[in-house]
Structure formats: C-alpha cells, structure tokens
C-alpha cells in the first residue's frame, strides 16, 4: 500500500513542476511580446507628436521603415 502512495505523491510533484515550467515560459513570452508591442505604440505616438495638429499634412510624411521595404 505504501508504495502506491509514494508513486502518487511523485506524480503530483511531477505535475506541479510541469505546471511551474509552463507558467515560466508563458510569463517570459508575454513579457517579451509586451515589450515589442509597447515599443511599436511608442513609435506611433511619437509620429503623432512630431506632426502636430496645426501642421500641414503634406509636411508630415513619416520616414519609411526599412523593415517593410520601400513603399514608394
């Protein structure tokens, strides 16, 4: 009887470690993605600040992003 009980406890520990590992991977992924998204929102916000409400829209053309290729 005791052997079954020990195996059951070992399985519980294994599942707990597995859940902890998955949680660590998920948290790390969300933080990395969150940083990237935050940077992109900052770039968009800075573009709006650089081109104020009173400026002529023709004078406020964004610089092309080399990551997306030439858009001309």
Backbone angles phi, psi at 53, to 5 degrees: -65, -30
pLDDT per residue as tens digits for the range 50-68:
666 666 666 666 555 656 5
d(CA 52, CA 61): 12
pLDDT of residue 37: 87
Task: Enter the pTM of the model.
Answer: 0.46
């Amino acid at each position: 009887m005791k052997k079954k009980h020990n195996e059951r406890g070992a399985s519980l520990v294994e599942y707990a470690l597995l859940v902890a590992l998955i949680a660590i991977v998920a948290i790390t992924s969300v933080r990395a993605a969150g940083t990237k998204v935050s940077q992109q929102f900052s770039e968009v916000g800075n573009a709006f600040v650089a081109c104020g409400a009173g400026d002529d829209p023709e004078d406020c053309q964004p610089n092309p992003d080399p990551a997306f290729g030439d858009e001309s």
